[in-house]
Amino acid sequence: MAGRPVGEPELLRGFIDGGFVAGGKTFTKASPVTGEILFEVAEADESMVDDAVAAARAALNGPWGRLGEAGRAAVLRRVADELERRFDDLVTAEVADTGKAISQARTLDVPRGAANFRAFAEIAASAPTESFTTVTPTGRALNYALRKPVGVVAIVVPWNLPLLLLTWKVAPALACGNAVVVKPSEETPASATLLAEVMAAAGVPDGVFNLVHGFGPDSAGEFLTRHPGVDAITFTGESRTGATIMRAAADGVKAVSFELGGKNAGLVFADADLDAAVAGSVRSSFTNGGQVCLCTERIYVQRPVFDEFAERLAERAAGLTFGWPSDEATVNMPLISAEHRRKVLGCYDLARAEGATVLTGGGVPTFGDARDGGAYVQPTVLTGLGPATRTNREEIFGPVCHLAPFDDEQEAFALANDSDYGLAATVWTRDVGRAHRAGAGLAAGIVWVNTWFLRDLRTPFGGMRASGIGREGGTHSLDFYSELTNVCVDLT
């Protein structure tokens, strides 16, 4: 992205068939930190989405479609190299879009972007397929499987971890030989635009990566997900939006992969290392302003240690550092927008109305500077509500958790599983047997024991129930982004 004249927001454009394009309409992107306008963004109309899908289709029929696994892996490695070369620019874009601490962007978001391309370059190049020699009374046959690209993949990603989640999908899609049309959140257009520059600089052929900016209904998101030229749709975001996309995909019987919302449970047993459990729960509840689908919003604590845990967690939450994103010591970040802050504050009000006790937080911090125009809320710890309340059933997606006691393991598992969601769970215990029982007994796509957010990119990732469809990661991603053909050769 080029520099902009002082006082004029930079225009962020779409990227179609190897070039940047702008339509007639634009919208603004405001800073979550101060509320000032950072960017003008070119909104894609239906004809631009048509052009992007057509460019992707043409790329499949060009040199990209004839490039083998080793050639595609080399392209992905060049993309990773270019992401690392543009490291500081990408950090700046992520911080501007989201307001997150610069230390997090430097250590998590941007490094994971490059790591995603390197990982899937290796995974796709070395992924095995099946081969069987069959002997029958009439002869012998060789059966083997081939992976082929699905085709044109629509990629729709949210605003909370924009570069990380975008590259998490683009990398395996390209590794399998697909062409993509990306629709980032309207709240986080900057790093996606930079990724288009990276793709061009890395020599990705025209039309393989296309970018359209816009909103959901009656905008780029809807135009893309119901487009007849799209072969598959992958989406990370809110469960209700996933349901809408699924209805649009039904007409063309398109493949879908959804990583959706969560109302994740944490279980703290009396035998746990309480220092580790408190520190881990601070991370799992308040990281990224609580705006991660994997964050813990329900924490159940065994009764003998409940009071101590609650006191210590509330004290730690109250002491989390507010600062400017550029400050290395900053921990807290604002919510993504004023609109989302209204939603989260409404949830805090609902919790009070339902009878919650607020142990800490529940309001808006004041700074006496430009940050008062931003979208900040206080990290909040609640207690006193039953499992049937809306506060304990609906995803808030903010820096908040509710604490409740339990007596035994069976009750703890039942409370954790009493949810419409099933994305993640954390368990804090020194009992190895209980750890394994939790892995088997909790209805969640990932169960962390004595840790949180620790990932191996080869492992399956995804949710159950309203938390999604399918799995991403390692060869599980390849299974979505490729079609398998069995070849049977008669050897007699």
Alpha-carbon distance 363 to 290, whole Å?
15
DSSP string over 92-126: HHHHHHH---HHHIIIIIHHHHHHHHHHHHHHHHH
Q: Does the annotation count 176 as an active-site position?
A: no
Alpha-carbon distance 230 to 252, whole Å?
9
Q: How many helices (H) and strands (E) does the chain have?
A: 16, 23
- HSE on the CB side for 319, CA within 13 Å? 8
CA angle 48, 200, 160 (to 5 degrees): 70
Alpha-carbon distance 377 to 363, whole Å?
6
Set 259, 297, 395, 472: catalytic member? 259
Alpha-carbon distance 112 to 222, whole Å?
29
- HSE on the CB side for 12, CA within 13 Å? 28
| Residue at token pair 């805090």 | 348
Alpha-carbon distance 30 to 95, whole Å?
12
Set 293, 295, 347, 401: catalytic member? 293
Entry field: residues in the chain: 492
Residue 402: φ, ψ to 5°? -115, 135
Q: Does the annotation count 293 as an active-site position?
A: yes
Q: Quick one: which of 252, 187, 241, 250 has its CA closest to 214?
A: 187
Do residues 41 and 191 lie in contact, with contact meaning Cβ atoms separated by under 8 Å? no
Q: Give a three-class secondary structure readout of 231-282.
A: CEEEEECCHHHHHHHHHHHHCCCCEEEEECCCCEEEEECCCCCHHHHHHHHH
- Give me 131's structure tokens: 């081969």
Which residues are catalytically annotated? 259, 293
